[in-house]
Structure 1
């Protein structure tokens, strides 16, 4: 594998930002690991971080580079701050960045496939929300999406937040009463995709049974199943922590339709 720390300028954000990129490399002589490539334009997983993290976190807390080496899968890990992958009311346009600009920039730098069947997105917590939002708002671009302990019921999280998080949510989403039924509401997006005649991404969802987001994850799973969406759900003992995510990202990689 090749690991690249890429600093670049974002026209959408108006500032320089960063991403880590893992690129497949066919190798036979590495001790303890064999790399693989499966085509000249690599299938790609956009791997999203959580609220208190940045683009380095998946590399620092898991063995993601080792996990993807035999798969021939590229991984793009961008930095988005505490944005909830949203064009913020008071802040940067991170939704436009992550959904439009980032894939174009990454493909201009690296040999990444632009085919829907080769593009996937996953994330933890805030990144789980971002992953499902990307796949459900852009079902023509992503074949599959995975949420690990995702903050999926954003409507209730925003409405019931106490300070200082309530003010932070206001700066991200604006008036809490406007979130429900908007393009930031995963329930609304799931229903919209289910009722459409267009492509529908495969969904994977997992959560620890002791996680404070567990009940919200169960509710969203049940809603997607009721809509008839293709969703795979797993759970197990665990809280909102990296031991759980390091284990289940391996399940995500096995599940991806590569």
Structure 2
């Protein structure tokens, strides 16, 4: 895999940010690394970080470079700070940046496929929430989306110790306003407002995770809808031992119907 870190400034949205990108690369010199490259443009996974992390975390805490290399999959990992993938009430317009500007920028820099069937989104915790929100609101962009230990109940965030008091009003305003289009339960029920075809959805959470109950509740709601939905749970907490294992399962699942 070829690795690039890109720092750039959006004149339209006034955002200065970074992203890490993995590109499949044919090589015979990387010991212990299986490679799979394609002559055409690469299928792409947009891989989102959690609340306490940034665009570097997936490469620092997992072997995603090795896992993606075997599949010939490009991976785009953007930085959105602690925004919950939202146009912040007092801050940067990260939702607009990620969903509108980022794909265009990434494809202008690298040979990435524009086809819906070749594009996927996944994330952990805050990023799991962001991945599903992106898939429900922009279903024409992705064929599949995955949430690992995702935040399913964004309205309950303000009362959690995991979110510092400063962050919540910056993201959602003061007093906080949770719009319907930021609520995953509302988006699930109203997904056809955004498109007739919903991406395949994968959701997983460890049974020892503090987000387990809301993940269980969301999974039960998904099972009531006529969507292609996969849910997995098992022993695990809100940590990288769990996510390093589950991202491998996600990558296998992404290509299971291709």
State the TM-score, normalized to the length of structure 2: 0.93
Alpha-carbon distance between aligned partners in 2 of 1:39 and 1:176, rounded to the nearest angstrom: 52
Cross-structure match for 1:168 = 167
Contact kept, 8 Å, 1:26 with 1:34, in 2: the verdict is no
State the TM-score, normalized to the length of structure 1: 0.93
User: What secondary structure, in the 3-state scheme, does the structure 1 residue paired with 2:122 have?
Assistant: strand
Alpha-carbon distance between aligned partners in 2 of 1:85 and 1:57, rounded to the nearest angstrom: 16
Pick which of 187-196 and 93-102 moved more. 187-196
How far did 1:27 drift? Answer: 2.8
User: What secondary structure, in the 3-state scheme, does the structure 1 residue paired with 2:224 have?
Assistant: helix
Where do 5+ consecutive residues of structure 2 fail to align?
A: none
Alpha-carbon distance between aligned partners in 2 of 1:203 and 1:163, rounded to the nearest angstrom: 26
Alpha-carbon distance between aligned partners in 2 of 1:227 and 1:215, rounded to the nearest angstrom: 19
Cross-structure match for 2:101 = 101
Residues 138 and 225 of structure 1: CA distance in aligned 2, closer, same or farther (over 3 Å): same
The answer as to 2:170 corresponding to 1:143 is no
Contact kept, 8 Å, 1:155 with 1:176, in 2: the verdict is no
Alpha-carbon distance between aligned partners in 2 of 1:75 and 1:228, rounded to the nearest angstrom: 29
Alpha-carbon distance between aligned partners in 1 of 2:69 and 2:240, rounded to the nearest angstrom: 21
The answer as to 2:228 corresponding to 1:233 is no
Q: How does 1:241-256 map to 2 (within 5 A)?
A: 241-256=239-254
Residues 163 and 254 of structure 1: CA distance in aligned 2, closer, same or farther (over 3 Å): closer
Cross-structure match for 1:87 = 87
Alpha-carbon distance between aligned partners in 1 of 2:13 and 2:33, rounded to the nearest angstrom: 38
The answer as to 2:45 corresponding to 1:42 is no
Alpha-carbon distance between aligned partners in 1 of 2:201 and 2:7, rounded to the nearest angstrom: 31
Alignment deviations for residues 108-150 of structure 1 (CA, whole Å, 9 cap, x no partner): 1001111111110000000000000110000011111000000
Tell me how many residue pairs correspond in the alignment. Answer: 256
Alpha-carbon distance between aligned partners in 1 of 2:91 and 2:176, rounded to the nearest angstrom: 19
How far did 1:198 drift? Answer: 1.0
Where do 5+ consecutive residues of structure 1 fail to align?
A: none
Equivalent of residue 202 in structure 2, options 204, 213, 225: 204
Alpha-carbon distance between aligned partners in 2 of 1:196 and 1:135, rounded to the nearest angstrom: 10
